[in-house]
Amino acid sequence: MLSLAPSSSPDASMTRPTITVVGLGPGPEGLVTHETTQAIARNTRRFVRTTRHPSAALVGEAHSFDEEYERHDTFAAVYEAIAQELIGAALESGDVLYAVPGSPSVLEESVRHLRNDQRVEVRVLNAVSFLDLAWQRLEIDPVNDGVRLVDAHRFAQAAANERGPFLVAQCHADWVLSDVKLSYDDASGDEPVVVLHHLGLDDEQVVHTVWQNLDRLEREHGLTPDHLTSIYIPQLAAPIAGEMARLHQLARTLREQCPWDREQTHASLVRYLIEETYEVVDALNALDIDDPATDEALIEELGDLLYQIEFHATIAEQQGRFTLADVARTTHDKLVRRHPHVFGATKAADADAVVQTWDAIKQAERAQKSAANSGAESNFFAGVSRAAPSLSLAQKLQKRAAEVGFDWPNAEGALAKIDEELTEVQRARDTGDPEVVRMELGDLLFSVVNVARKLGVDAETALRSATDKFITRFERVQLLAVQRGIELSKSDLAQLDALWDDAKRELEA
């Protein structure tokens, strides 16, 4: 006879220890149900997920899992550890009680782990969640308005290609809000956002702000996000692109789980930042406008460089210093400030006028910073990177000095300086002192850079072009030598010069 009953006996669940899960409501003690207080009174073995909740004291004597948040690198690991400890306690002593903030049925990952373990019976009691207060404060019906509840940690993925409305929970820190903000590439910055903070408590705040201030709540509104903070987003103007957020999450995951990534510091990563920058330059030089296939190399190298920026921002975020959002915002604001011909009333007839405006604004900014630091003279070269390639560094230093009139009026004076420095090099060579020779050669190179600057040529680019030209010509010399049966290492200067001239003519033909 066919039976519709479960294969296990009806009393099978009674043989398993029970974990009773109760919710402590959104905050106010008055919203904790009578059923929950009765369950707390009946159970002597009690656990509470966190004591950082206004109603946690109602549980009385209980074991807290607060230390698990310090012990693990991810929330997923925290909730898994909590579930395993609860199951172990239930198997050891029978029935236990587990109290969680809000409702056990809303965004409670640890309960999901408990329900998936067949060794225990899980009894969940109904509770008031923060959602009930949120809908009341927002004065909306979530069903009729089609609101989607999203965990802030999964916002980029969960909300991809959707426009909202969203209620975003778990907004417990500035960096979480930064992640949410970064995941929306097409934001204008004026999109409305409602911040719901400590609902039902004496210090409740419902703040109406805009998207661009999402991670500036403390600065703009004196509000510090915590585990009782959520945000409501009525509508986004365009679907969300989550690639930057995915990359940011990857960087954070690697910092938490990869031994090599964990050991890195800003200082240890400098060499990789420099290497990736040069590889981008190589990809740019190899870019062929008529060959779309060359884009792939540039995409890859730009991605590698982008990850280095992300890596440094993630380290700073973990140190509590700044986030990638701060980096993006600072750059955005600086570019707006330095383009008054686009975002202001200033006019710019051509590119030269843009450069002049840019330089004038930079000088004003430096003067302001120097005045603020009370050290204008000692900070004259502030902002010029000493780690830059030597030719670029020399050119930037000369340009900075020229801003206050320390410069040749034209290229003639700079060219004459080369002759003077070349004579000094010859004299230094006669002394036989390597240190003197090194110093005078440096002066000669510095003078050459000055000529390049006066002629409007970037010295670094000029030398790189000359280097590329040398590589091409020397490779042709090697080819000609093979074709003619000549061994370069045994050739005299006349033969080498002849090969060089032939290679030059063939390449210029």
Q: Transcribe 422-460 into DSSP letters.
A: HHHHHHHHHHT-HHHHHHHHHHHHHHHHHHHHHTT--HH
Q: Are residues 178 and 253 both part of a single domain?
A: no
Q: Does residue 466 sit within a domain?
A: yes
CATH number at residue 177: 3.30.950.10
Q: Are residues 163 and 183 both part of a single domain?
A: yes
List Cα–Cα distances, 96 to 42, 160, 389, 456, in angstroms.
Answer: 10, 40, 66, 79
β-bridge partners, 160: 240
Tokens coding 275 = 């290497």
β 96-100/46-48 pair status: parallel
C-alpha to C-alpha distance for 368 and 374, rounded to whole angstroms: 10
C-alpha to C-alpha distance for 439 and 435, rounded to whole angstroms: 6
The residue among 194, 222, 241 that closes a domain is: 241
55 burial level (CB within 10 Å; 0-12, 13-18, 19+): buried
**Regions in the chain scoring below 50 on pLDDT:** 1-13, 375-377
Residue 375 — φ and ψ, nearest 5°? -155, 55
Q: Are residues 234 and 248 both part of a single domain?
A: no
C-alpha to C-alpha distance for 389 and 482, rounded to whole angstroms: 36
Q: How many domains would you assign to the chain?
A: 4
The residue among 307, 337, 367 that closes a domain is: 337
pLDDT the model gives residue 298: 93
C-alpha to C-alpha distance for 249 and 273, rounded to whole angstroms: 20
C-alpha to C-alpha distance for 422 and 112, rounded to whole angstroms: 78
Q: Does residue 317 sit within a domain?
A: yes
Does this model's pTM top 0.85? My answer is no
CATH number at residue 320: 1.10.287.1080
The residue among 96, 128, 160 that closes a domain is: 128
Q: Does residue 387 sit within a domain?
A: no
Nearest to 120 by CA among 105, 107, 129, 110: 110
**Virtual CA dihedral for 238, 248, 269, 385, nearest 10 degrees?**
30
CATH number at residue 47: 3.40.1010.10
Q: Does residue 490 sit within a domain?
A: yes
Range of the domain at 79: 14-128
Instruction: Please give the mean pLDDT across all residues of the chain.
Output: 86
Q: Are residues 249 and 332 both part of a single domain?
A: yes
C-alpha to C-alpha distance for 63 and 79, rounded to whole angstroms: 15
